Amino acid sequence: MRGHAGGAQRETERTVPTTATVPQDDLQPWLAALPAAPAVFQLHGQDPTQAPYIAKTANLRRRMQRLLTPAHPGSKRLNLAGRIARLDYSLTGSVFEESLILLRTHWRWYGAGAVKRLHLRAPALLRMSVENRYPRVYATSRLSLRALPAFFGPFASRVSAERFLDEALNLFHLRRCVPDLEPDPKFPGCVYSEMKMCLAPCYEGCTDERYTEEVQRVGEFLRTRGGSELQMLK
């Protein structure tokens, strides 16, 4: 129990930024006292109502050295010497923690605008489309709260989601075509139905009951991360 409480205390200490007033005269001793460690930091100007400069760094002391000491004449790098009154920083122990604190910090100042400032993208997901009479699974980045149970993922990228889906559907006979289907016995089918990789509901190659069974099987496979199919092999 003591170990758990101590871990929680350290976590709280890490997420609360350390505040340090930036001296305007003798800067070197102040810089030397900063940790040479990864951190997310905020540099506040003289006006406390203005949003700070927010960034991450692998070495806080070195980054402050570059930003706050006078630059050489003609240098084009960002330099804030003489403009900063306060430094707030949070040390980070991993890339995940760094990203989380960076997001929280931006959100505190910019609200929903933090997503655009950090160039964040919606995650790639798989969705079981049930609007049509014959459901299918497809990759998407558009999340709908109303259809939340029909989403699976997330994936690292749209490409990885589509690659996984293509390989997974090779184990089943679910349709892969995009249009909403209206079965027609005269329809010639597609390459997947020719290779017996689809139940071919497009030309009534199966009953609605059989297709529903396959939809349920695919859905269970995605919900259990393949566990349902592994269980059948035992």
Q: How far is CA 144 from CA 77, 89, 198, in A?
A: 43, 36, 28
DSSP string, 58-125: S-HHHHHHHHHSPPPTT--S---TTT--EEEEEE-SSHHHHHHHHHHHHHHHHTTHHHHHTT--PPEE
pLDDT of res. 15 = 55
pLDDT digits (tens, 9 = 90+) for 129-138: 988 889 999 9
- 8 Å CB contact between 176 and 198: yes
pLDDT of res. 146 = 85
pLDDT of res. 103 = 94
- Summary mean pLDDT of the chain: 88
Burial class of 17 by CB neighbour count within 10 A (0 to 12, 13 to 18, 19+): middle
**For tokens 């000491």, what's the residue?**
69
As given in the structure block, the two tokens for residue 201 are 């509901």
What value, to the nearest 5°, has the Cα angle with vertex 122 and ends 118 and 128? Answer: 175
Residue 55: name the closest of 46, 67, 45, 47 by CA: 67
Decide if pLDDT at 234 tops 90: no
Burial class of 202 by CB neighbour count within 10 A (0 to 12, 13 to 18, 19+): buried
The stretch 193-218 carries a mean pLDDT of 94
DSSP letter (8 states) at residue 43 = E
- Identity at 108, one-letter amino acid code: R
State CA 174 to chain mean position distance. 29
pLDDT of res. 2 = 34
Helix, coil or strand: residue 138: strand
- Alpha helix (H) residue ranges in the chain: 2-15, 28-32, 60-68, 95-110, 113-117, 158-169, 191-194, 208-223, 227-233
Decide if pLDDT at 13 tops 50: no
User: What is d(CA 123, CA 163) in angstroms, rounded to the nearest whole number?
Assistant: 15
pTM of the model: 0.63
pLDDT digits (tens, 9 = 90+) for 49-98: 899 999 999 999 999 999 999 888 878 888 888 889 999 999 999 999 99
